[in-house]
Chain A
Amino acid sequence: MKAEISWLDDPEVFRVNQLPARSDHRAFQSTAEATTKQSSLEQSLDGDWQFKFAKTPQERPAGFYDPDYDRSKFDTIAVPGHIEIAGYGQLKYINTTYPWEGKIFRRPAYALNDQDTGKGMFSEGEDNTVGAYATTFTLNPELRDKRVIVQFDGVEEAMYLWLNGQFVGYAEDSFSRSEFDLTPYLKDGENLIAVEVFKRSTAAFIEDQDMFRFSGIFRSVRLVAKPAVFLEDMTLRPDVSDDYKNGDLNLALKLSQTDDAPDAEIRVKVTDGDGREVLSLAKPVANTVSFTDNAFKNVHLWNHMDPYLYHLQIEIVTTAGETLAVVPYDFGFRKVELKNKIMLLNGNRIIINGVNRHEWDAHRGRAVTAEDMTYDMQIFHENNINAVRTCHYPDQIPWYFLCDHEGIYMMAENNLESHGTWQKMGAVEPSYNVPGSVPQWKEAVLDRARSNYETFKNHTAVLFWSLGNESYAGDDIAAMNKFYKDHDDTRLTHYEGVCRNRKYEDQISDMESMMYDPPLEIAKYLENNPKKPFVDCEYMHDMGNSLGGMSSYNDLIDKYPMYQGGFIWDYIDQALWTEDEVTGEPVLRYGGDFDDRHSDYEFSGDGLLFADRTPKPAMQEVKYYYGKHIN
């Protein structure tokens, strides 16, 4: 197959040769590896890559992925990282309007006219910078003679992949993991992997989040070897009985095997929090294997105050006794329900003491580190924050595991925001909204819901699936809601944008979600025969010196059982460390500080934390009110 640059213009092309999204479990070669979390089946490709920047697609180094191409004039760039922070391409922050505002006239393909294919809109976009990345690797011994895939955890905003000069595949959706099978293209010795990253594609219309606009390979890249028998996917369903006393574990596994795979069995073991074995089962390997109705009497439930996890370990062992793979996964038993129009966790009314959290690091942009995550979790605990909305895209995978372990309720949002297509100068004007009900945009957004669900479906912490943010409502988002509902009856769906187009309110979102509604308006809703429980998906806009009047929201919790709290906007200011042009001192700079226009300037700073991660003075107020209803 040949890579086509026209895919950038076509909303119907968003993944080519990508492997299907699947569970985010890791595989290890032995139980010892599983304990230390160091997998010899994985080989990191993070580090310095060869790099060439081009201002437009037309100026890009065509054919750079060819082993014979002369890349001696290439620079180097750190992976993971953003191209702009590395000094190529202008930094830019903007909220609602598209980053090309005032520079290029664009309308999403097919939005106004089904003959409008958008041809050339991005493939010839004068603002479409390109990063040509290349590096070489030699497989570690443990990966040799196995099937090998490559995992890109995050590439913004469209990528083409080649191995040893041969085209492998194409991916959009900047914030979901993209996997490709490299096996057919691998060779002994040194391999050349090349990635062409475009800053813009049709994805730009649905990735219009209120944030700095970056491009590049900004999350980790790694190779993963698949032993002869491999656990491709698993669906864990730890159900809880109606009286919340007993658990019932169901496991559905999908496996792949090489043609010469040895006979093997799957062993499933579950231990409790004290390491006591509570379940041990085995079945022969097949393409799909299920373990159903495994009773856990007097099960220890999971919640924020007591995030009790059981430890699942799946081992694939040959009849000769050789361990091919070990897959550990911690999970909890908990039950999410909507009863009498109130959302319950394990039978108790859920109170969301939440924050919206963009991934942010003032040195690294959205390429946050494990240390950032650990720190953030500590801040959550210190301030009685019990819930997080992954605004408005999936976060790095370790964050979900951390939330499982730390008892943080997650509203797991897929990557979608298109407010620039329907919010004009603050007014609702959806004339060219996408995805809307435009058929050519439906599969792209459904794919985002699918990736989000498949990747994170086993996380105990995820109580809610969120369909994205501020994208209006239409058939396409209704289809996303249906996807989640068809695949998962153990969680609830959330989408705020349906309140802008009430026609879809019975098809989209289990909860009534509003943003920035004043307490008096919320009370009005709750007193007028409300259909759904109410959640503030964004409230208490903490821009600058703010966060006054929180008591009025707190009062709603006490007064209305159907008011279930909300997520403060937001966790951390988006500003970047840079050098003062006058003094040379390190300073934090925000939107508009890089000559970036059109800009929304200091609107990038609405956090409970300053960009350097120190809490703002208002934080003690959050701690106080969130401490009143912690559960």
Chain B
Amino acid sequence: MANTSTKVKVIFGDASLGLRGTNFGYIFSYDRGGLESLVQNGKEWCYRIPRPAFWRATTDNDRGNQFYVKSAQWLGADLFSQCVKIEVFIDGQSVGFPISPENNKYSNQEYATKAAVEYTYETATTPATTVTVRYTVDGTGSIQVAARYNGAKGLPQLPVFGLRFTMPTAATGFDYDGLSGETYPDRMAGGVPGTYHVDGLPVAPFMVPQECGMHMATKSVTVNRDLTLNNADQSRDTFRLTFKQTDKPFAFTCLPYTPEELENATHIEELPLKRRTIFTVYGASRGVGGIDSWGADVEEKYHVSAEDDIAFGFTISGPEG
């Protein structure tokens, strides 16, 4: 492979766009409608495709002030929004949606400085709106992710807007550069900036499981795992994936459960075994509130309007970090 070390190899598949390089291989699926495979150093990081995140497990305050009723549509959107459009960009130029026979013109020796796939998701809401998620990959395997929510009049306030990854196995822990503890837009003054290690995937044991584990104002976070689902890989050596800020710090949660799993439990012991890592990066989150738990709204400046656009981004580091 001559002079390709800074370029990314592009596989124009019939059901996906493959992007490969030294110690990485990514599959952007057309039929699944998202990033189906993210392999670095031989380890898979995607169990299912990342999906736009709109819901948070109802907090006691959300229940008390009826936010969960008013914004119930976003639960459906969180579960059921679907991919409606896919567009591929090579070195910044759109090549449309290059499936067969259009892709017959390519070879097994296609390289690009940058290749990007943009997925458009339509929300299961009334009215419906769209979210775009664009992944731009360079020759080092670094993935720049840009997500955009398109505001639409008439939609109820959002619990959150983010991008949720489902990793095949439970993380052994994570390390991040951000604020201490668990922080929210209206509860982050007490967070002390620093680098922190968290063992395992702790779930704050609220009596009724609910939204938890948010880390605001994060510059980078590395998820550590030591187990794959690959039958040919019995190693328990730790391997890592790092998410870092592109321009601005981001918020994230790293939990063993989806918001829907948390939502459904009345006690922590009803939650399933910790099998996966549910890792979500957020561009926006509603505050948790605190005035009372039977009607007081979250202060207005901590609402997330669904009528305005929301854009955010972050970068997944390539295999060399």
Residue of A nearest to B287 (CB): A548
Size bracket of the A interface = 35 or more
Q: A549 in the interface, Cβ–Cβ < 8 Å?
A: yes
Q: A281 in the interface, Cβ–Cβ < 8 Å?
A: no
A426 to B192, CA, bound (A): 39
Size bracket of the B interface = 35 or more
Instruction: Identify which of A188-196, A439-447, A538-546 touches chain B.
Output: A538-546
**Known contacts A550-B290, A580-B269, A620-B180; is A545 also within 8 Å of B206 by CB?**
yes
Type the 1/0 row for B167-210, where 1 means its CB is closer than 8 Å to any CB of A: 00000000000001110111111111000000000001111101
Q: A133 in the interface, Cβ–Cβ < 8 Å?
A: no
> Within the complex, what minimum Cβ distance (angstroms) separates A95 from chain B?
10
Type the 1/0 row for B52-88, where 1 means its CB is closer than 8 Å to any CB of A: 0000000111001000000000000000000000000
Q: B31 in the interface, Cβ–Cβ < 8 Å?
A: no
**Known contacts A540-B290, A587-B267; is A548 also within 8 Å of B298 by CB?**
yes
From A516, A602, A616, A617, B292 is in contact (CB under 8 Å) with A516
**Known contacts A585-B269, A617-B181; is A602 also within 8 Å of B291 by CB?**
no
Residue of B nearest to A519 (CB): B291
B189 touches A625 (CB 8 A): yes
Chain A residues, CB < 8 A from B292: 516, 541
Chain A residues, CB < 8 A from B296: 516, 518
From A426, A605, A617, B207 is in contact (CB under 8 Å) with A605
A545 touches B204 (CB 8 A): yes
B287 touches A545 (CB 8 A): no
**Known contacts A549-B186, A549-B302, A620-B181; is A544 also within 8 Å of B290 by CB?**
no
Interface of chain B, main secondary structure: loop
From A542, A552, A604, B299 is in contact (CB under 8 Å) with A552
B204 touches A543 (CB 8 A): no
Chain B residues, CB < 8 A from A619: 181
B287 touches A544 (CB 8 A): no
From B190, B269, B291, B294, A621 is in contact (CB under 8 Å) with B190
A549 touches B287 (CB 8 A): yes
> Within the complex, what minimum Cβ distance (angstroms) separates A214 from chain B?
19
Q: B27 in the interface, Cβ–Cβ < 8 Å?
A: no
**Known contacts A543-B61, A618-B187; is A548 also within 8 Å of B181 by CB?**
no
Chain B residues, CB < 8 A from A624: 189-190
Chain B residues, CB < 8 A from A548: 61, 184-187, 287-290, 298-299, 302
Chain A residues, CB < 8 A from B188: 621
B299 touches A544 (CB 8 A): no
A525 to B181, CA, bound (A): 35
Type the 1/0 row for A8-41, where 1 means its CB is closer than 8 Å to any CB of B: 0000000000000000000000000000000000
Q: What would 28 A/B residue contacts be, using CB atoms closer than 8 Å?
A: A426-B294, A516-B291, A519-B291, A540-B291, A544-B60, A545-B60, A545-B61, A545-B204, A546-B61, A546-B288, A547-B187, A548-B185, A548-B288, A548-B290, A548-B298, A549-B186, A550-B189, A550-B290, A552-B299, A585-B269, A587-B267, A590-B207, A616-B204, A617-B204, A618-B182, A621-B188, A625-B189, A625-B190
